[in-house]
Amino acid sequence: MHTRDAPSEPADNLPERREFFRIEDRIGLEVRKLSSPEEFDDNLFGDDHLESLKADFRRLDQDIKSQLASLSDQDRLLTGLVKSLNGKLDTLARIMAFQQNPLQPDEWQHVTLSEGGLAFSGRRHAWHTGDQIAVRMTLPPELFQPRAIAEVLDVQPSETGRARVHTRFIKIQDSDRQQIARHVMRWQIRQRQKE
């Protein structure tokens, strides 16, 4: 189910806002509490050795997309074949990533997600309103890994001894926000296809 209001604002004590679509999804989520936003760096999650490979991948992906645009004017059959091969490689990369199992089972959880923030389940006394946290999400099936700094807006305890932590992104790169937007849009399309 999706609605158009911000995910990180509990309805009973904050004004309702209709800025972003939000979805209920199961994603990989890694969270680190920060003492200040300046503490956030690219190595906080211990994967700086992959950044150059990811940059190469993004560059090659853009090259393929731009070349496909010009190729489609000349040869539609070859364009279709190259698109299929590119999709096959993407699927193979996702299979390999899942087989390596970079996240532990407890790091996959149900969240409410939008371009503006997220809500997740956490230990009741681990989070407080105003805390600043670094988050890295793994969004299946594409396995995008957007990162952000978020601020805890509210912590709602539950009967289970845990709490629902509502956050909003206060620092996020445009490319990461776009990955989240594409993920939300694709999630909505998949839900419509199921209906």
Q: Quickly count helices (H) and strands (E) in the chain.
A: 3, 7
Tell me the one-letter amino acid at 187: W
Condensed to tens digits (0 to 9), the pLDDT of residues 86-124 reads: 888 877 776 666 655 556 666 789 999 999 999 999 988
Question: Which has the higher per-residue pLDDT, 29 or 18?
Answer: 29
Q: What's the pTM value of the predicted model, to 2 decimals?
A: 0.66
Which residue is it, tokens 């994967």?
47
Whether the Cβ atoms of residue 141 and residue 95 lie closer than 8 Å to each other: no
Which sign, positive or negative, has the C-alpha torsion 87, 88, 90, 91?
positive
Question: Which has the higher per-residue pLDDT, 20 or 104?
Answer: 20
Which sign, positive or negative, has the C-alpha torsion 140, 143, 144, 150?
positive
Whether the Cβ atoms of residue 40 and residue 34 lie closer than 8 Å to each other: yes
